[in-house]
Amino acid sequence: MAHPMAIIVMDGRDMIEASRRIWNWMKGFLAAVVVGLVAGTVYFMVGRSGPGSDAKVEEESRVRTATVTRQDIRFDINLAGEITPLEVVSVRPEVNGRISQLPVDISDKVSKGDLLFSLDDRDLMIELESRRTEIEAAQLQLDQAHRLYLRQKDLFEEDLVSREEFENSLTDYELAQNRIERARKELDMSEDRLSRTRILAPFDGTILTRSVSLGQAVSGSGGFNSGTEVMTIADLGRMIINAHVNQVDVTRLKNGMEVSIEVEAVNGLRIPGRIDRIAPQATMKSRTKGYETRILLTDSDPRIQPGMTANIIIPIAASDDVVAVPLAAVFTEFNNQTKAMDRYVYVQKDGQFELRQVVTGIADYNFVEVLEGLEEGEVISLEKPEPEQIRVNASSDTKGGAS
């Protein structure tokens, strides 16, 4: 017979072993539950973001219909260009020299006739005095030759001198006349060169640039590289914009059309303008064929400066408070009978879509005016319905189908 205490000890060990087994089983169960939850979450997320899920969400959220409304439609051509003065003059001397006076600098305002700069004229003044001296000497020679000619003429008439002596005196007199005439022309040329050492403003304007300094030597415009540019002057009261108009839009434009101009550098500023010139020859710019168009600012603002970027709005057509639909709602087909393109919409009625012909007016980049065929409040499709959803209106010519 076993000892009672041994039985009690064996029972305690069994209980401990059983508890350990229960605890291990619970840990395994909890781990399995956690793994299952994680796997389920991952499966759910993958299912939500897997291939085709985005397309499905997009398909479900896409707007398929629109309501016919009344609104204002404006069709404008938008351009961008750079503001420049209408008149810009590159000021260069006509003769070589050294800058002796330079009273103006950039941003200075000048009036027509004001001195812009002058060249050192000391050499020309010496030349001028020399020409005057030559004229005085030529005049003395002319007077002497004239007196000798008159004397020889009287003697020849009295047969006191030979014809040869008389003719020689006449030749000397004519040569003296030529010499003084040449001396006078040379004096005029010297005076002209001297006058060109003072360069005056050709019109009222503003000095845009000045590239030389006082004392610098400059070359005349008749010399190498068309001379030295001393400065540029412009009339900032008359500004233009040179814009490149796409060949698709240029046929809608004509000289004299009114435009609206916004200057990016001056917030909120809008000024009027008009189309002044359209080039007859197309050019390529940024790989786009178009026509250079000059737009004249009909009003000015002191804050506008050359080189600023401007946005030009050219109104082409406008309709106020008209029946309008999105461009996507209008479909076209070629009518074999009229040999023209017909326009249709699909009007929603009783769970189906009625094919209805419409007459359209002007359009902007989003909406088109409907002149006939629709009423405000009707619902139209933005995409072509399935064939079984389309109900043909007896008044519509559906030959060929809409596309």
- Residue 309 belongs to domain with CATH number: 2.40.30.170
- Residue 16 — very low, low, confident or very high, per pLDDT cuts 50/70/90? low
The pLDDT of 218-229, averaged and rounded, is: 82
Whether the Cβ atoms of residue 292 and residue 282 lie closer than 8 Å to each other: no
**What does the pLDDT read at residue 292?**
95
Please check whether residues 132 and 200 belong to one and the same domain. Answer: yes
Please check whether residues 312 and 363 belong to one and the same domain. Answer: no
The pLDDT of 237-259, averaged and rounded, is: 92
**What does the pLDDT read at residue 150?**
92
- Residue 17 — very low, low, confident or very high, per pLDDT cuts 50/70/90? low
In the block, which residue shows the tokens 């000619």?
149
The pLDDT of 35-54, averaged and rounded, is: 53
Of 287, 318, 349, which one is at a domain's C-terminal end? 318
Of 204, 233, 262, which one is at a domain's C-terminal end? 233
Domain assignment present for residue 50? The answer is no
- Segments forming the whole domain that contains residue 374: 321-392
Summarised one tens digit per residue, pLDDT across range 334-380 is 888 888 888 989 999 888 898 888 999 988 888 999 999 899 999 99
Q: Tell me: pLDDT of 258 over 70.
A: yes
**What does the pLDDT read at residue 224?**
65
- Residue 402 — very low, low, confident or very high, per pLDDT cuts 50/70/90? very low
For residues 300 and 43, the model is more confident at 300
Please check whether residues 201 and 265 belong to one and the same domain. Answer: no
**What does the pLDDT read at residue 2?**
42
CA distances from 151 to 147, 154, 173 (A): 6, 5, 12
Please check whether residues 245 and 272 belong to one and the same domain. Answer: yes
**What does the pLDDT read at residue 334?**
85
Please check whether residues 311 and 225 belong to one and the same domain. Answer: no
Count of domains observed in the chain? 3
Please check whether residues 360 and 343 belong to one and the same domain. Answer: yes
Summarised one tens digit per residue, pLDDT across range 62-107 is 668 899 999 999 889 999 999 999 999 999 998 888 999 999 999 9
- Residue 286 — very low, low, confident or very high, per pLDDT cuts 50/70/90? confident
Please check whether residues 292 and 361 belong to one and the same domain. Answer: no
pTM of the predicted model, to two decimals?
A: 0.61
**What does the pLDDT read at residue 29?**
59
Domain assignment present for residue 400? The answer is no
Q: Tell me: pLDDT of 127 over 50.
A: yes
Please check whether residues 199 and 277 belong to one and the same domain. Answer: no
Domain assignment present for residue 65? The answer is no
For 315-335, letters b (16+ CB in 10 Å) and e give eeeebeebbbbeeebbbebee
Domain assignment present for residue 196? The answer is yes
**What does the pLDDT read at residue 67?**
92
- Average pLDDT of the residues of the chain: 83
Domain assignment present for residue 23? The answer is no
Q: Tell me: pLDDT of 1 over 70.
A: no
Percent of the chain surpassing pLDDT 90: 52
For residues 221 and 310, the model is more confident at 310
The pLDDT of 123-139, averaged and rounded, is: 90
Q: Report the CATH number that the domain containing residue 337 is assigned in CATH.
A: 2.40.420.20
Of 233, 262, 291, which one is at a domain's C-terminal end? 233
Please check whether residues 102 and 225 belong to one and the same domain. Answer: yes
Please check whether residues 99 and 189 belong to one and the same domain. Answer: yes
- Residue 399 — very low, low, confident or very high, per pLDDT cuts 50/70/90? very low
Percent of the chain surpassing pLDDT 70: 81
